[in-house]
Structure 1
């Protein structure tokens, strides 16, 4: 999946290379059957990027620039991607069509 993320003066095209949704832990029952929460895990790659200056001129970041920006803003990029994934998942849940058994009164 590819997303466009804007951070400060950068516009980045980011590809998600690996995603594991989190899982709630189990805290009741015998201790050997219990396990902690598993957080969401996300890996991404910045495939291209643009930088805008004060005069709104555009310049391509190139591979080294993309790598540098990805390292500098990794946590912010990851947070924004997770938000987008959650929004997409919520939209899919809404549009799934689970109301097919619904009947009018």
Structure 2
């Protein structure tokens, strides 16, 4: 799944390579994991753009993308979960 997220002035094209989103089942006694649910996400930053102080668009180089993914990994993941949850809500309302 491909997503576009905005983090700290970067517009990033991100590919979600692995996503597990199991809701909690409080009545389940088979294991702690089933009772509390599980959310895992792995992603790869494919490309990105940023803007300089004059508002001129610049493409981020591959090394810069790796640094952005390391430095802002938690913010990227939070933005991806926000988009994934919103997509699920839209699908529930459309059904």
When normalised by structure 1's length, the TM-score is 0.79
Q: Which consecutive segments of 4 or more residues in structure 1 shift more than 2 A?
A: 25-29, 33-36
How many residues were matched structurally?
A: 93
Q: Partner residue of 2:82?
A: 83
Measured against aligned partners, the alpha-carbon deviations of 1:71-104 in whole angstroms (never above 9, x if no partner) come to: 11000000110010000001001111xxxxxxxx
Tell me how far 1:39 sits from its aligned partner.
2.7
**Equivalent position SS for 2:38:** coil
Q: From the two aligned structures, give the one with the greater strand fraction.
A: 2
Which protein has greater RCO, CA pairs closer than 8 Å, 6+ apart? 2
Structure (1 or 2) with the larger CA radius of gyration: 1
Q: Once superposed, what is the RMSD of the aligned Cα atoms?
A: 1.7
**SS in structure 2 of the partner of residue 21 of structure 1:** strand
- Matched with 1:50 is 49
Shift of 1:23: 3.1
| TM value normalised by structure 2 | 0.86
Q: Is there any run of 5+ residues in structure 1 with no aligned partner, and where? A: 97-105
